[in-house]
Chain A
Amino acid sequence: MRPQLASATTRVVNATSRRLGRGQGTVAGGRAGLRLDPRLLEHLSAGRQVALVTGTNGKTTTTRLLTVGLGASGDDVVSNETGSNMPPGHVAALAGSRARRAVLETDEVYLPRVLTATGASVVLLLNLSRDQLDRTNEVRMIAGSWRAALAAAPHTHVVANADDPLVVWGAGVARDVHWVGAGLRWQHDAVGCPSCEGRIEFTAARWSCAGCGFARPEPEATLVIAADGTARGEWADGRSAAVRLALPGRFNRSNALMAAVAAEASGVDALRALAAMEGVEEVAGRFTVRSFGDVQARLMLAKNPAGWGELLDLVAGSKAPLVVSINARIADGADPSWLWDVPYERLTERAVVATGDRYRDLSVRLHYGGVTHTTEPDPVRAVTSAAGGSDDVVDVIGNYTAFYDLLGAP
């Protein structure tokens, strides 16, 4: 009786919170349900095939891609699409659906307990790098907690990025691992070997530790980017398919290939899943173009140095005005020191406006980086002032809460 009551409570609170306009209605109901039944996530997962998606960057997008990919089977798929990636968000999503398949974006620190509760059949491990260090402390601790959790889950199929040594360490002792050569642009957190504290050497296509032999496993599928920028997934068994996406960026091609391999581990043909992903045009507002008065702006999210590295690749060539908005609220991490790990020097050719709660930290960083910029504490005014009367679409990059502030601004 308790699970049913808790589940019903979750739905009612969520519906009420949505009606009252208090956010997207995913956390309050989940919390209420979990208070009535602390094992609610376990109960709601029973009888479903659950896939968990975790890692530092790309969780929300990959969760969406995998959800669409699994949908190619014709089955209904439930997912925590709003990015509430801890148990209250999981419970809220599952309580509202009878779908047999579930894809849950999962906070990297919460993976062990969510895996235990859901008994997930598939876990997708994207990448691990520094992010919100005031909350997560050390990236290696997270990799170690994944390793212990997956060792205790012998029936779980793991899909993992073979190019990230910390992910490989985290997945290392799982019984069934599908390695994907998904690429890793940011390697600065992985130089110290997680196995022996030796030094990991990266070459163009592989990595290995000279001290203990810990090395890149042979992937079953690899992302290959041609000189013209087109992407293909190439499988060790000879299959090959173009990775065509409406979403921009190398990192999203990498996310799509990992999602395709995870779809296959869930019983849906990888190439069929990949084809279904082509139609995804935007995910939770990322890359949305919206207007602020007369000004059009493209909204992008980068919340740590690894994410920034990928986005700088995408925007460095443009001459359009650029607004950077930085907050340091709980969801962002309270310490914006990471701004000094981002090579903002690449923006010296662009007209930059610094904004957000912590625009002063950003302004100091840009000052020492030789990036000419102005400051405007109010994010919306920053966007309109950046346009300067021109018709250019303004590029806007915010970290987590800064991005959502602008996405939801009236």
Chain B
Amino acid sequence: MTRSLRIAVVYPDLLGTYGDGGNGLVLARRAEWRGHEVALLQAVSDRPLPEADIYCLGGGEDGPQVRAARTLIDDGTLARRAAEGAVVLAVCAGFQIVGRTFPGAAGDPHDGVGLLGVETVKPTGPRAVGEVLVEVDPAAFGPLPPLTGFENHGGVTALLEGTAALGRVVVGVGNGAGDGSEGAVQGHVVGTYLHGPVLARNPALADQLLSWALGDVTLDCLDDEASESLREERLATVGGKRRRRRRA
């Protein structure tokens, strides 16, 4: 049965720095290719946030990040739709602002939207920049192939009691809180530091989000030759890094 799906890219004018708008495009195309009708909405920050089945938040700079969080809290739609079961994918700065608190440019704490039980602070060390390989926790998320992506953030994110990580970092930094975790999952809300965009590099994660949004349906296979070729190359590249690190 085909359905119509509304996918909102949240505040591309504030959270559009690292190509994460591609996540919305990947979800939209993968739903359309399976015969569903899709409205892909670019939800700019000076309008009320539209009603949608899936919300995608991306990375952004410190100043615009603070503004995005404040605007989302005042608007109220994202928190309400998440409580109603809408799917939320939040990346990098977006991940930080759907948590409880996050740091502004000067390190001062700001309120997040509170969809995920995580708290982010400024790191004492350098920014985390580079390729990442993550093994997804099957207990928290269900079985998924390893996630590949690129992180670029200056934040340390701690999981609060009762919040599950998206997975365990094999290569890279991830949440950076010393527990080897990457991202967070609570209900249909997923947070991660992975760019790439993450859904372009990990179509199985995209399909998991689509399946939630469509009511836990099983999805037909698609022609993922280009993505599979990219995944093989990226996994081989970070696999090489892992071996080099072990030797060092």
Contact = CB atoms under 8 A, between A and B. Distances in A.
B is bound to A: yes
Judged by DSSP, the binding face of B is mixed
Interface in A99-146: 130, 133-134, 137-140
Contact of A133 (B17, B29, B64): B17
Contact of A138 (B20, B61, B226): B61
Interface of B: 12-14, 16-22, 25-26, 29, 45-46, 60-64, 66-67, 127, 129-131, 150, 152, 154, 195-197, 200-201, 226-227, 229-230, 233
A209 to B, nearest CB: 12
A191 B13 contact: yes
Interface of A: 130, 133-134, 137-140, 188-189, 191-194, 197-199, 334-335, 337-341, 360-361, 363-365, 367-369
Contacts of A193: 63
Contacts of A360: 226, 229-230, 233
B226 A192 contact: no
A134 B131 CA distance: 11
4 closest pairs, A vs B, by CB? A340-B22, A337-B19, A192-B64, A340-B19
B99 to A, nearest CB: 20
A240 B27 CA distance: 51
Contact of A191 (B19, B64, B200): B64
Contacts of A334: 129-131, 150
A199 B196 contact: no
10 contacts: A133-B18, A138-B61, A197-B66, A334-B130, A334-B131, A335-B18, A363-B226, A363-B230, A368-B25, A368-B26
A192 B12 CA distance: 11
A368 B29 contact: yes
B200 A197 contact: no
Nearest to A130: B17
A53 to B, nearest CB: 25
A363 B229 contact: yes
A172 to B, nearest CB: 16
A338 B19 contact: yes
Nearest to A367: B226
Contact of B152 (A134, A368, A369): A134
